[in-house]
């Protein structure tokens, strides 16, 4: 038979596990956040130019728009 759920025991175990976590420093968090923003910007620029190039190629092949 399954063991009965004990909310108090669950909370104690969660707090114990959270205590084992190695949290990043403020500096590490800021550097990682900046890197994410930089890579998102670079990806946006890349996909913008890829989209422009592909749309130009499709217009050239199909003779649309002018």
2, part of any domain = no
Q: Is residue 56 part of a domain?
A: yes
Which tens digits make up the pLDDT trace of 48-61? 999 999 999 988 88
Q: Please indicate, yes or no, if residue 66 is contained in any of the structural domains.
A: yes
Calculate ∠ Cα 11-15-21, nearest 5°.
145
Assigned domain for 51 exists: yes
What residue numbers bound the domain in which 40 lies?
24-66
Please give the model's pTM, rounded to 2 decimal places. 0.63
Label residue 3 by pLDDT band (50, 70, 90): confident
Q: Residue 64 falls within a domain, yes or no?
A: yes
Structurally, the chain folds into a number of domains equal to: 1
Task: With respect to residue 13, please indicate whether it lies within any of the assigned structural domains.
Answer: no
15 assigned to some structural domain: no
C-alpha 6/C-alpha 19 separation (Å) is 20
Give a yes or no: residue 59 inside a domain: yes
């Amino acid at each position: 038979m399954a063991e009965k759920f004990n909310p108090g025991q669950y909370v104690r175990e969660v707090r114990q596990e959270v205590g084992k976590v190695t949290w990043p420093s403020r500096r590490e968090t800021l550097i990682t956040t900046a890197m994410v923003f930089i890579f998102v910007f670079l990806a946006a620029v890349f996909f913008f130019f890829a989209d422009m190039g592909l749309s130009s190629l499709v217009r050239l092949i199909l003779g649309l728009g002018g």
